[in-house]
Amino acid sequence: MKLTRVQSFIAQCLAESPELSAKGLSLKRGIMLEDGLYPETPNRKRALTDIGIALIVWEVDSKGSIADQPNGAHVHEISCPVVIERDPKLAQLRTGLSSAETVNIVIQAVLGKGGQRPIRLDSPPFRNLGIVEGVQQFLVNFITTDSITPTQ
């Protein structure tokens, strides 16, 4: 998958999840792209107040090189985590989802999608970052492969 598509592709996978959309999450409500403004990501606080859950698809990062080709092409791995933020009381009340169920749904919505170079889980697959200012935070670590061919 191309570097420029990874973040938006993951967000689209989340938006297309029947489990998440049934709970009121969409690209306009609760699913957002991190744009360097975190924790002031637009609509983050509103999602936590309205739904109790915010899914923030982080910006891409390099996980390192895999191979260089004789023609100058370069193959590398791209990391794109999803931050799950939950207001424990509101999320349970408004969606009925536990933290473990939310993590599982996010993984199922994205894992294996992406065609010839599917999205996989990185190591560790997810992390519980604890509660910060009343918001429970989890990080789901997705990874995929990209190749870049030089312009001739």
pLDDT of residue 126: 97
pLDDT of residue 152: 67
Flag whether pLDDT at 76 surpasses 80.
yes
| φ/ψ of residue 12, rounded to 5 | -65, -40
Q: What are the pLDDT digits (tens) for 84-140?
A: 999 999 999 999 999 999 999 999 999 999 988 899 999 999 999 999 999 999 999
Q: In the structure encoding, which two tokens stand for residue 60, read together?
A: 């891409």
Indicate the SS3 state at residue 16.
coil
CB of 54 closer than 8 Å to CB of 44: yes
Which CATH number is 3-148 given? 3.30.2000.10
CA distance 91 to 98: 8
pLDDT of residue 75: 84
pTM for the structure as a whole: 0.91
* Per-domain boundaries in the chain: 3-148
Q: What are the pLDDT digits (tens) for 19-60?
A: 999 999 999 999 999 988 888 888 999 999 999 999 999 999
Q: What does the mean pLDDT of the chain come to?
A: 92
